[in-house]
Every structure is written in structure tokens, then in C-alpha cells.
Amino acid sequence: MGMTMTQKILAAHCGLESVSAGQLINARLDIVLGNDITTPVAINEFNKANFDKVFDKDRIAIVLDHFVPNKDIKAAEQSKSCREFSNAHEISHFYDVGKMGIEHALLPEQGVVTAGDCIIGADSHTCTYGALGAFSTGVGSTDMAAGMSSGMAWFKVPSAIKVNLVGSLPSNCSGKDVILTLIGMIGVDGALYKSLEFVGEGIKSLSMDDRLCICNMVIEAGAKNGIFPIDEITRAYLDGRSEREPIFYEADKDAVYEKTIDIDLSKIFPTVACPHLPENTRRANELSHIKIDQVVIGSCTNGRLSDMEAAYKILNKNKIADGVRCIIIPATMQILRECVTRGWYTAFIDAGAVVSTPTCGPCLGGYMGILAKGERCIATTNRNFVGRMGHPESEVYLASPYTAAMSAITGYITEYEGDK
């Protein structure tokens, strides 16, 4: 029986010729990831288990991105614990103020993760790296601690759903609209513990940023991981970037999938997930009566350079509506620098937005954009649960950078009509 892409990667990492859905395996890890919230918990577990060393200082990544620069004493203590652990174990991939970024944008950018990898991260959106042809998934801090010590992790091999993409996206849509459309179709548990495997000729029209965005949010459909096949776009992205030699896997022609979902990209429209679930999707132009108080453009989902470009295209020489707070957060220092170099940073300020150093802050209701009771935000983030961005009686609408930027100008949820 043939294997899916995910199953091939897992088989290679557990030393078996083949694996099948439901099988329990113990797999070798290429990268173990943690951030400033989850790593301190993992460090405590690491110490409680009397582990005295990490399996490989070059295969662990610790990224301070949620509350950095530190927002309060607790955040400072958490970061200090990460710094001390990283220094003690000489962790190569430790990212602090000045060189940090949002982890799931930073690791692909820096070549820390690559095709064919088996990756765990103590953050649910670790599934992002499937865009590169890797198996990557989120785990708890205890699993992170064990992974840092042993370089191994237990998995149940997931069954798979094939998502067949055809056509090309309209100019007013992006990968965010694709994944919101898919989640709207199957629901937040529609792919529970399954691998969402994207295939089809439509993939060639999706940029690497689109693919990273799509894989980032497969967890919002309950998926164990998402994965894209390797093509020229993948190879071009990885060339000269990956710190290890990538390994390219492809699904067998007779691979087994639970079902196939067909999506025509040309029929995608600007999509918004309304409170309080990512599956609660509507077309943006059906929500033009929704007045907003805040816009956030950034996060591990949509803080990449193409997302900044989308915001610039709309905000340049325009003004943020009165009464609207627009917060723009480039996902890495490299992206922030590029925004400055291209003049986008100044354009954002001239439009009336604020631009932050890279941080996850507002996405999880941490800082840099907390909502008060009754306030509404349209954001390019990935979750809109009750109280996600602040007060439990606030509301978060999820959308693409195009829709978010247009809404910042009008003060209401507004659909971007595309290139004229």
C-alpha cells in the first residue's frame, strides 16, 4: 500500500520501510522548537527529569517572540529562564531582542527548517513548515523537554485528506482566503488528527508566503499537520537558504486518502471568519455594516513581506479612518528592515498606523493591542475565540491583509476589489 508525503517522512525518521495510518512510531527529530511562553515550562520538566544535556545544540530553536521586548516582570522572568538555559547548553538557534522574529516566520526565513524534516514545536502553529515539504506539528512542553533531551518523539501516524487545488487566485485574494474557505467548508474539527495534503495544478499559482499561511492555519481545522508537494517554487525558496541539505519526498501514486476536497482557486473570494470560531466564515462584502475599532496586520500567519506589501498597496497615500487603531507588525527583523528600505514603514506612519517590532503580542491577547469590552478588531491573525484578543465581550474577525487594510481606511469591514 502506498504512502502519503507525511507518511514517507515519518517512515524515514523511524527507520521503517513503510508506516500506515494509526501506527505508533518513535521518530528521530530534526528540530525541536519552543518560545518564551512554552520553553520555561519545558525547562522545568527537563530539570525535573534530571536531564543533564540536550541531544544536539544545533537542532534546538528557542525564539523569544510572544512577550518580547518584555511586557512585565513575569515575561522578563520567563525570558531570563530561556536565556540562561540557552547559554548553559550553547543553543545555536537562540533568538532574542534585536535578532528575534515571530517563530514560524523566522525559522523558514533563516533556513533552520527545510524539506524532509521532522519537526516538533511547543506551539500549535508549528504546522507552518509543511509549506516547505516537511512534517511539522505542535506538541506540549513536556514533549518538548523530552525531545530536547532525546531527539525523539512518539507519534500516531495520521491518516490523510487530499485537498486538490485548481485554477489561480483573483488579485484581491491570498492564501489566507484559501485556508479560511477550507476551514469554513470542513469546520474546526473537520481534519482532526489528520494530515491535510495539498495537491493539484493550482499550487503553482501560490507563492511560498501563501503556502506558509495555509499550512499555519491547518490546526484551526484540527489537523495534525499540513503539507505541500515540492516544486520549483519550493526549491527556489530553499536554495542557498537551508542550513542542511533538504530531502524531497513525494506521495505514492497509490497513497491512501480518507477523502478528497476540490477547491477552485479562481472562485475564492475575500473571506472573513466572524466571532467566535475560524469556521464561521462569510464573504467580506456581506459584512460592510460591521464597524471596527482596531486593525492588526501581522502574526505568524500574515506578517511576511508579501503581507506588508499588500498593506502598503492599500494604505499608501491613504489615511486610517478616525477612531480606528491600525497596528502593523512585520514578522521578523529582516522583514522590518525591508519595509524601511522600501519606504513602506514611512507610508504606514503617514497613513496613521503604528509599526511594531516583531511580536506575537496582540494575537493571543498578550500586549500591543488588547481589546476593551465591546470593541471589534479585524486581524490577519489565526484565532478569534472568545477573549482571544482581550476582553471576553470583544470581537475578533479574521481576514487577509488586503481586507484588513481596506477596513482600516473605511472603519468598516470592507472588501478589496483588486488590481484595477
Confidence of residue 388 (pLDDT cuts 50, 70, 90): very high
pLDDT tens column, 81-132: 999 999 999 999 999 998 889 999 999 999 999 999 999 999 999 999 999 9
pLDDT for the residue 155: 96
Distance of CA 288 to the CA centre of its chain: 27
Model confidence at 405, pLDDT cuts 50, 70, 90, reads: very high
Structure-block grid coordinates of residue 155: 507519534
Range 367-380 burial, b when 16+ CB lie within 10 A, else e: bbbbbeeebbbbbb
- Does residue 23 surpass a pLDDT of 90? yes
Q: What is the mean pLDDT of residues 330-341?
A: 97
- Higher local confidence (pLDDT), 420 or 251: 251
Q: Which three cell numbers, joined as nine digits, stand for 285? A: 462584502
* 1: pLDDT strictly greater than 80: no
Q: Tens of pLDDT along 52-84?
A: 999 999 999 999 999 999 999 999 999 999 999
Pairing of strands 135-138, 118-121: parallel
DSSP assigned state of 320: P
Q: How much is the average pLDDT of 183-195?
A: 95
Counting beta carbons within 10 angstroms of the beta carbon of residue 64, is it exposed (0 to 12), middle (13 to 18) or buried (19 or more)?
buried
Name residue 239's amino acid. Answer: D
Helix (H/G/I), strand (E/B), else coil: 197 = strand
What's the mean per-residue pLDDT of the chain? 96
Residues 98, 334: contact at Cβ < 8 Å?
no
Q: With pLDDT > 70 as the criterion, what percentage of the chain qualifies?
A: 100
Per-residue model confidence as pLDDT tens digits over 267-300? 999 999 999 999 999 999 999 999 999 999 999 9
Tell me, what's the pLDDT at 334?
96
pLDDT of residue 100: 87
Q: How far apart are CA 261 and CA 76, in angstroms?
A: 45
pLDDT of 417 above 90: no
* Cβ burial 169-195 (10 Å sphere, 16+ → b, else e): bbebbbbbbbbbbbbbebbbebbeebb
Nearest CA among 348, 324, 328 for reference residue 407: 324
Segment 316-330 mean pLDDT: 97
Cell readout for 313 is 498597496
d(CA 222, CA 191): 5
pLDDT tier, 420 (very low <50, low <70, confident <90, very high otherwise): low
Asked whether residue 362 carries a pLDDT value surpassing 80, the answer given is yes
What integer pLDDT is reported at residue 418 of this predicted model?
77
What pLDDT sits at residue 419?
72
Q: What are all long-range contacts of 370-373, with beta carbons under 8 Å and residues at least 24 apart?
A: 371/293, 371/294, 371/395, 371/396
Calpha distance 231→214 (Å, rounded): 16
pLDDT at 223: 97
Q: In which band, very low, low, confident or very high, does the pLDDT at 26 lie, cut at 50, 70 and 90?
A: very high
CB-based contact 191:221 (threshold 8 Å): yes
Which H, E and C letters describe 128-186, residue by residue?
Answer: HHHHHCCEEEECCHHHHHHHHHHCEEEEECCCEEEEEEECCCCCCCCHHHHHHHHHHHH
**Euclidean distance between the first and the last CA atom of the chain, given in angstroms as a whole number:** 50
Q: Which amino acid is at 7?
A: Q
Domains of the chain: residue spans and CATH: 5-263 (3.30.499.10), 274-410 (3.30.499.10)
* Percentage of the residues of the chain whose pLDDT score is greater than 90: 98
Residue closest to 372 by CA, chosen among 382, 362, 380, 381: 362
